[in-house]
Amino acid sequence: MRQFLLIFYLFLSSPLSIKGDQGFIAILYLHNGQYVSSDSVYTFYNLDGTYFDSLKSREGNEPTCLRIAKGDVVSYYPNMMIYVFFCKLSHDDKVLVRVGGQWKKLSTNAPFSIQSMKEYLLSLDILLKVDDIVYYGKDKIKIKKKLICHIIDVKGDYVAIEICKKKMWFRWKKNYKVLPDRLIYE
């Protein structure tokens, strides 16, 4: 109940609304300095209310889930056991998270937070791999060696990074399809 009130307070105190499809992310913590209690579970339901899957903390091991793959989330940080999903608020004020290509209702007694997508991305670095394309104005530039750059701006599916003192843009996702293992949280 306290968690619901905190989230409700955050919604009311924020000038932003989480209505919409891609403006916000939900961060689910299974390990935050210590293991989250084993009775803490993130349960996902289909929009019709039927059970879809659960994420459960298992001390010392990877979290358990049967149907949620690494490619179905925005990011997964195994060393911290943190899952990040696109999220929005449903018409009946339920938190919805995007698992792969579908919205699911989130029900939990475990800690999670909601953040604007831009705020989240600006706190991260991104891994650029050989042959990735970055854009500088109308020019396309092919990356020649692996780089890790801090994200300095966000617009839609693109993030801005600085290379050789030039602001360049990289497409980190296409709609909901995210390039896997690119967002780095340190």
Same domain, 73 and 144: no
Higher-confidence residue of 22 and 117: namely 117
Residue 63 sits in the same domain as residue 138: no
Are residue 37 and residue 104 in the same domain, yes or no?
Answer: yes
Cα 79 from Cα 162, distance rounded (Å): 27
Query: What is the identity of the amino acid at 146?
Result: K
Are both 96 and 179 inside the same structural domain? no
What percentage of residues in the chain have a pLDDT greater than 70?
A: 78
Looking at the predicted structure, is the pLDDT value of residue 82 above 90? no
More confident residue, 155 or 41: 155
Grouping H, G, I as helix, E, B as strand and the rest as coil, residue 5 is helix
**pLDDT value of residue 67:** 84
63 and 31 housed in the same domain: yes
- Do 79 and 169 belong to one domain? no
Angle at alpha carbon of residue 159, lines to 93 and 87, rounded to 5°? 15
pLDDT higher than 50, residue 179? yes
| pLDDT for position 22 | 52
Q: Which of 83, 99, 116 is the last residue of a domain?
A: 116
pLDDT at 38: 57
User: Given 70, 92, 116, which residue is the final one in a domain?
Assistant: 116
pLDDT at 177: 81
Is the pLDDT at 116 greater than 80? The verdict is yes
- Its sign, for the CA torsion 157, 67, 25, 27, is negative
36's tokens: 């989250």
pLDDT digits (tens, 9 = 90+) for 16-44: 344 444 589 999 887 555 555 555 688 99
The domain that contains 156 carries what CATH number?
A: 2.30.30
Residue reference for tokens 């793959």: 69
**Is 65 in the same domain as 103?**
yes
Q: Are residues 107 and 82 in the same domain?
A: yes
85 and 139 belong to one structural domain? no
Residue 77 has a pLDDT of 82
Between 174 and 148, whose confidence is greater? 148
Q: Are residues 111 and 41 in the same domain?
A: yes
Q: Which CA distances in Å does 128 have to 28, 146, 172?
A: 25, 6, 10
What are residue 9's phi and psi, to 5 degrees?
A: -60, -45
Q: Is the pLDDT of residue 13 over 50?
A: no
Residues 23 and 64 in one domain: yes
157: containing domain? 124-184
Boundary of a domain, candidates 63, 89, 116: 116
Tell me the whole-structure pTM to 2 decimals.
0.78
pLDDT at 62: 62
Domain count, the chain: 2
Same domain, 81 and 156: no
Residue 115 has a CB neighbour count (10 Å cut-off) of: 17
Q: Of residues 92 and 148, which shows the higher confidence score?
A: 148
CA dihedral over 16, 18, 24, 29, signed as positive or negative: positive
> Is the pLDDT score of 145 beyond 60?
yes
Please choose, from the candidates 186, 185, 156, 183, the residue with its C-alpha nearest in 3D space to the C-alpha of residue 74.
183
Amino acid 158: pLDDT: 95
Q: What percent of the chain has pLDDT over 90?
A: 48
